[in-house]
């Protein structure tokens, strides 16, 4: 059979595997607060054709624009008609594309290494978990790998098309997350450090300054188009220049999400809480270590692997991991930013181990061991994304919404069916009542109010409140309202539901 | 010569009669019952419950203050009730079954293994939605209290806690509900009158009022913990073993 066809079939298999882990039971996990904010912002873009970049929060708009085609196909009539799946499909698609992108590096890693890297990408618990999550990180990882892939292809062919593609990828990174600067710095430093090592004949025009400048322009234009909401809000693109002050302040000077320097490495290496599974991607880390050795000892490289590419990947991964580890502000999804590099190196490591195994039997044994490791990774990815999706033992489930929120949604919707003119007031101590707006989206516009203190007139048929307000609400509404339940919005964050007595009696009369 | 002292005859006055009646009444109403109670006290002992160590100090980050529906966390230890002499934990090491064949984590025998400490792995985890566990005490006995520790590593509220006893292992006949805090009848046993409560090392002590039963069944439907699981660290059932 033709080699291209065989490789194509392998890629189809990888995509199917990736999809099999990313698509099922997509709506089962409650929306994280961050996801629900992005849902709201996408809905504004879809329904009002408006996007305004905020330099202080939310990152860039690529996630929203990537989701628009799904909405154009589905044509939801209202925000209430949208479902979790409509949003989460976009990161799923990018999660699958990410699995296929190592194919761009086939002549730099070797086919077995590229295939192994694709397989590990498909199975990595962190990559699977966050591919099912409506946040920017999977897209960012995808654009980063696209930049590396296109950059490599340009280096190999000197075709301007690849340089344009690399420029586009860099622009998409800029428009996705402000932290792209760290990725550019790490990649740039690594590329410069390995430039001309080992010496290879240089293709004509490869480092032509005009070409490189044009690629830079492509990146800036791509970013500007997106950040300005396709020029509907030009200030957005300019606002990007102000974004680094708040982000740098957050990175270094806040107690929010502050973690030890070793947080990311231990997250990947070993997390075992209570009797949950051991969450580990030690296989990826170990294989990446073997792969990185190839940069130092060329004899370790598998057939078809370029020492320069492996060297660039190794240095880039180490630098980026060091940068992210040095920043006190850490959230587990940021691990995706540099996990890509580990996975590519792990592909090289896997191929090297198979090649260096003594004899046919040795190779079979190594392949069997690697497949067993892959099986473990895949099983872990599945469990992390389903049974342990919101479990405190899952290191990827971070400040996650609890499943009680489904009960809140159901209760409010049932009350709404009884009284279509229902008014809901949410009283919370701060702005961390998200994702409640998503779960209250079926209450008509203008009938849900959010308050950061007990309003002077708290009378509404339904009041959802942080437990801090229980006593005050009991004093004010005790005679007219029924406390109908305490729900866990997040771990250690209880939320109380108060319902007007008459409405509650009518509701209960139906349930008896 | 002096005149001999003449003995005065005793007079029966109204006041004297009343005083006697009062004394008699005091004896009948106060002293006699006290004597009886003292005799009964000899057959009453404090509930032989041993509490595990507290896993957390203080109150949750945002605990509900006093509310008629959620019992506030008390800074004082719970008073130990008196029970009949000979009361023991009838559930210790007794067989347990559950509504699901497979647990999510752990084994059902952990519910009656005597280990109620809030340490890793000391509780069994059942799958999401309404689930029950059932303890077979081996023989019907008059029960005084049931104490349940769902999960007390941190303050959480378990939903729809319903505790029933029966002599029918299928719980179709002769079921007595001892506790029900299901406010909206989502468990299907009617609207409960009991309050929700924060899990602590004291567990939930539920009066069984001497009802004679062999099986104890406990329902729950997840908690505020952040995942949908049902957890049990220990269940103790106090009563005097049948002879």
Helix A137-157 × helix A84-100 angle, to 10°: 30
Judged on CB neighbours under 10 Å (0-12, 13-18, 19+), A419 is middle
The model's pLDDT over A267-292, given as tens digits with 9 standing for 90+, comes to 999 999 988 999 999 999 999 999 99
Rounded Cα distance between B13 and A198, Å, is 129
* First vs last C-alpha separation in chain B: 83
What are the start-end ranges of the H helices in A75-179?
A: 84-100, 106-109, 111-123, 125-131, 137-157, 160-174
pLDDT for residue B2? 40
DSSP assignments along A122-140, one per residue: HH-HHHHHHHTSSSSHHHH
Which of A485, A503, A505 to probe by mutation at the B interface, max B CB count within 10 Å?
A485
Q: What is the SS3 assignment for A35-58?
A: HHHHHHHHHHHHHHCCCCCCCCCC
pLDDT for residue A431? 86
Q: Could you report the predicted ipTM of this complex, rounded to two decimals? A: 0.87
pLDDT means per 10 residues, chain A with 512 residues, are 90 98 97 97 96 89 98 96 97 98 96 98 98 98 98 94 97 96 96 82 82 96 96 89 76 76 95 92 98 93 95 98 94 96 98 96 98 98 97 96 96 96 93 95 93 85 91 87 92 93 94 76
Contacts of A396 (CB under 8 A, 6+ apart): A125, A126, A129, A130, A279, A332, A333, A384
Band (B9; pLDDT cuts 50, 70, 90) = very low
Subunit contact B68:A474, Cβ cutoff 8 A: yes
Residue B216, beta-bridge partner list: B135, B165
Nearest in space to A26 (alpha carbons), one of A101, A108, A122, A92: A92
Q: Produce one character per residue of A316-326: b if its CB has 16 or more CB atoms within 10 Å, e if not.
A: bbbbbbebbbe
Residue B89, beta-bridge partner list: B238
Give contacts of B226 with chain A, Cβ < 8 Å.
390-392, 400, 402, 488, 490-491
Subunit contact A488:B223, Cβ cutoff 8 A: yes
Element (H, E) at A376: helix A359-385
Rounded Cα distance between A61 and A55, Å, is 12
Give contacts of B224 with chain A, Cβ < 8 Å.
402, 404, 486-488, 494
Phi, psi (deg, nearest 5) at residue A434 = -60, 140
pLDDT for residue A239? 85
Subunit contact A390:B226, Cβ cutoff 8 A: yes
Subunit contact A508:B159, Cβ cutoff 8 A: no
Subunit contact B225:A274, Cβ cutoff 8 A: no
For residues A198 and A308, is the Cβ–Cβ distance under 8 A? yes
pLDDT for residue A198? 72
The model's pLDDT over A382-434, given as tens digits with 9 standing for 90+, comes to 999 999 999 999 999 999 999 999 999 999 999 999 999 999 999 999 889 99
- Looking at residue B118, the DSSP 8-state letter turns out to be -
Judged on CB neighbours under 10 Å (0-12, 13-18, 19+), B61 is middle
Subunit contact A276:B105, Cβ cutoff 8 A: yes
pLDDT for residue A510? 87
For residues B236 and B135, is the Cβ–Cβ distance under 8 A? no
pLDDT for residue A379? 98
pLDDT for residue B20? 64
Give how far A397 is from chain B: nearest CA, Å. Answer: 10
Q: What SS3 state is found at B235?
A: strand
pLDDT for residue B242? 84
Query: A with B: how many residue pairs have Cβ under 8 Å apart?
Result: 107
Judged on CB neighbours under 10 Å (0-12, 13-18, 19+), B45 is middle
Q: Are strands B176-180 and B162-166 parallel, antiparallel or unpaired?
A: antiparallel
Supply the pTM of this predicted model: 0.90
Subunit contact B120:A273, Cβ cutoff 8 A: yes
The model's pLDDT over B128-184, given as tens digits with 9 standing for 90+, comes to 999 999 999 999 999 999 999 999 998 899 999 999 999 999 999 999 999 999 999
Which of A394, A404, A482 to probe by mutation at the B interface, max B CB count within 10 Å?
A404
DSSP assignments along A214-280, one per residue: HHHHHHHHHHHHHHTTTTTSTHHHHHGGGTHHHHHHHHHH-STTB--TTHHHHHHH-B--TTS--B-
Subunit contact A391:B223, Cβ cutoff 8 A: no
């Amino acid at each position: 059979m033709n080699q291209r066809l065989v490789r194509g079939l392998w890629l189809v298999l990888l995509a199917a595997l990736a999809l099999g882990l990313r698509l099922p039971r997509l709506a089962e996990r409650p929306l994280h607060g961050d996801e629900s904010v992005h849902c709201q912002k996408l809905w504004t873009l879809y329904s009002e054709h408006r996007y305004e970049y905020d330099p202080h929060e939310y990152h860039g708009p690529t996630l929203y624009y990537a989701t628009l085609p799904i909405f154009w196909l589905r044509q939801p009539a209202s925000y209430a008609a949208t479902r979790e799946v409509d949003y989460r499909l976009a990161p799923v698609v990018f999660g699958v594309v990410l699995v296929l992108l190592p194919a761009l590096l086939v002549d730099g890693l070797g086919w077995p290494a590229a295939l192994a890297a694709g397989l590990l990408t498909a199975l990595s618990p962190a990559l699977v978990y966050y591919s099912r999550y409506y946040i920017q990180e999977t897209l960012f990882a995808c654009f980063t790998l696209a930049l590396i892939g296109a950059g490599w292809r340009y280096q190999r062919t000197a075709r301007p098309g690849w340089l344009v593609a690399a420029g586009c990828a860099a622009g998409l990174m800029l428009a996705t997350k402000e932290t792209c600067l760290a990725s550019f710095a790490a990649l740039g430093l690594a590329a410069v450090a390995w430039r001309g090592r080992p010496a290879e004949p240089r293709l004509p025009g490869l480092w032509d300054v005009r070409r490189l400048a044009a690629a830079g322009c492509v990146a800036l234009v791509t970013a500007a188009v997106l950040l300005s909401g396709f020029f509907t809000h030009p200030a957005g693109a300019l606002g990007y220049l102000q974004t680094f002050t708040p982000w740098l302040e957050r990175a270094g000077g806040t107690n929010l999400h502050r973690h030890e320097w070793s947080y990311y490495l231990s997250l990947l290496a070993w997390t075992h809480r209570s009797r949950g599974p051991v969450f580990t991607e030690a296989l990826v880390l170990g294989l990446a270590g073997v792969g990185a050795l190839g940069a130092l000892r060329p004899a370790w490289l598998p057939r078809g692997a370029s020492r320069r590419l492996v060297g660039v990947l190794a240095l880039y991964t180490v630098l980026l991991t060091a940068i992210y580890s040095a920043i006190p502000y850490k959230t587990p999804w940021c691990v995706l930013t540099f996990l890509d590099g580990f996975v590519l190196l792990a592909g090289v490591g896997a191929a090297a181990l198979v090649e260096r195994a003594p004899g046919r039997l040795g190779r079979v044994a190594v392949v069997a061991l690697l497949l067993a490791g892959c099986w473990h990774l895949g099983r872990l990815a599945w469990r992390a994304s389903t049974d342990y999706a919101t479990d405190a033992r899952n290191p990827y489930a971070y400040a996650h919404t609890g499943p009680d929120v489904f009960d809140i949604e159901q209760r409010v919707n049932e009350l709404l069916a009884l009284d279509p003119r229902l008014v809901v007031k949410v009283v919370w101590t701060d702005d961390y009542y998200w994702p409640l707006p998503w779960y209250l989206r079926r209450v008509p516009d203008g009938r849900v109010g959010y308050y950061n203190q007990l309003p002077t007139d708290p009378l509404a048929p339904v009041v959802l409140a942080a437990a801090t307000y229980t006593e005050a609400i009991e004093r004010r509404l005790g005679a007219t309202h029924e406390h109908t339940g305490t729900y866990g919005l997040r771990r250690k964050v209880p939320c109380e539901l108060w319902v007007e007595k008459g409405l509650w009696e009518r509701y209960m009369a139906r349930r008896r | 010569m002096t005149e001999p002292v003449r003995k005065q005859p005793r007079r029966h006055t109204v006041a004297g009669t009343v005083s006697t009646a009062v004394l008699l009444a005091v004896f009948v109403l106060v002293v006699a019952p006290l004597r009886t109670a003292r005799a009964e006290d000899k057959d009453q002992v404090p509930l032989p419950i041993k509490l595990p160590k507290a896993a957390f100090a203080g109150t949750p980050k945002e605990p509900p203050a006093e509310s008629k529906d959620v019992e506030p966390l008390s800074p004082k230890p719970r008073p130990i009730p008196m029970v009949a002499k000979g009361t023991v934990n009838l559930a210790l090491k007794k067989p347990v079954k559950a509504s699901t064949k497979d647990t999510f984590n752990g084994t059902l025998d952990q519910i009656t293994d005597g280990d109620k400490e809030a340490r890793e792995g000391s509780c069994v985890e059942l799958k999401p939605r309404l689930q029950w566990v059932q303890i077979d005490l081996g023989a019907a006995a008059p029960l005084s209290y049931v104490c349940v520790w769902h999960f007390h590593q941190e303050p959480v509220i378990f939903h729809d806690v319903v505790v029933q006893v029966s002599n029918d292992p299928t719980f179709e006949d002769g079921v007595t509900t001892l506790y029900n805090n299901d406010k909206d009848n989502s468990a299907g046993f009617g609207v409960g009158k009991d309050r929700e409560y924060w899990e602590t090392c004291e567990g939930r002590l539920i009066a069984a009022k001497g009802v004679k039963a062999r099986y104890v069944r406990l329902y729950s439907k997840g908690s505020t913990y952040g995942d949908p699981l049902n957890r049990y660290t220990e269940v103790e059932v106090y009563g005097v073993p049948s002879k």
